[in-house]
Amino acid sequence: MDASSQPFRISTTLKTYQPLLLVLGYILLGTIISQQNGFALLDASRVFMGLFFLVFSFFKLLDLSAFAKAYRSYDIPTKRIPAWGYLYPFVELGLGIAYLTHFAPKATNWVALTVMSVSLVGVVQAVASQTKIKCACLGTGFNLPMSTVTIIEDATMVLMAAGHLYFLYF
C-alpha cells in the first residue's frame, strides 16, 4: 500500500462510521453535562449506559421489523426465537430507563451483562466468519458494516456492567 491511499481509507472509514460516531459523541456530551456538579466515575458510566441504551433503542424502534430481520442474521437467540428480535429494542429501552433512574441497579447490571454478553457472542461469530453483514446496532436506517467496531461496542457495555457489579456489590 502506498502512502497516498491511506488518507482515502481513513476518510472512507470515518464516513462509514459517521452516524455511530455522532451518536456516541452526543451520548458522551450528555454524560459530561450530567456531571456538572462534580465528576463521579460510577455515576458517569451509569448515565453513559442509560443514554446508550435509550438512544440505540430509539434507532431500532424506527423500523422494528427491519431491525428484527437484520438482527436475526447474526444474533444467536434471534435465529432460534425470532420474537427476540422484536423484544430486544424494548429491553434496551428498559435498560436505558433503569440506568438513568437508578432503578434496581443490581438487577439492571445483571440484565445488561447477560444480554450484551449473548449479543457479543453472535457479533464475534459474525465478524470472524468474514461474511458481509449489515450491523443493526443503530437500526437499519444506516448502512453500518458488522466489524470490530461492533465488537468493541458490545464488549464495552459488558465491561461497564461487570464493572458496576464489581464496584457496587463486591
What string of pLDDT tens digits covers the 170 residues of the chain?
455 556 556 677 778 888 888 999 999 999 999 999 999 999 999 999 999 999 999 999 999 999 999 999 999 999 999 999 999 999 999 999 999 999 999 999 999 999 999 999 999 999 999 878 888 888 888 888 888 888 999 999 999 999 999 998 87
Cell output for 66 = 427491519
pTM of the predicted protein model: 0.89
Sketch the domain layout of the chain as residue ranges: 3-169
Please give the pLDDT value at position 142.
Answer: 80
Please give the pLDDT value at position 134.
Answer: 81
Please give the pLDDT value at position 139.
Answer: 83
Please give the pLDDT value at position 8.
Answer: 56
Please give the pLDDT value at position 107.
Answer: 97
Please give the pLDDT value at position 131.
Answer: 79
- SS3 assignment for the chain: CCHHHHHHHHHHHHHHCHHHHHHHHHHHHHHHHHCCCCCCHHHHHHHHHHHHHHHHHHHHHCCHHHHHHHHHCCCHHHHHCCHHHHHHHHHHHHHHHHHHHCCCHHHHHHHHHHHHHHHHHHHHHHHHCCCCCECCEEEECCCCECCHHHHHHHHHHHHHHHHHHHHHHC
